[in-house]
Amino acid sequence: MKQEIAGLARKAHDLTESAYREHTSTRGDPAWAEKQRILLADTALHLLQTALRDGELSADELKRNLYAILTVSGQFIPDHGLKACADRLYAE
């Protein structure tokens, strides 16, 4: 079952990265939030791939995944200190 999930995650990741590259909006454009939602989905898929990888879970890779998710999410809920929380992952 884990391999099947990983395979679907790879397909979803490929589609998500393609959608992000093809999205033409830039910061300040009305569609920027939509592009950032695609980026958030991409970072979530990276976390999924990290979690499903065989062997010991890499703390460094997990920190990178969480940092990316918290940083992008902070744009959608700015008053909750998610960027500061993300920065604390690397403060130690």
Ranges of each domain in the chain = 2-88
- The pLDDT value recorded for residue 92 is 65
pTM: predicted TM-score of the whole model, two decimal places: 0.90
CA atoms within 13 A on the CB side of 6: 9
Average pLDDT over residues 1-10: 92
Mean of the pLDDT values across residues 49-78?
95
Interval 64-70 mean pLDDT: 97
What span, in angstroms and rounded, lies between the C-alpha atoms of 10 and 16?
10
Contact 25, 14 (CB under 8 A): no
Length of the chain: 92
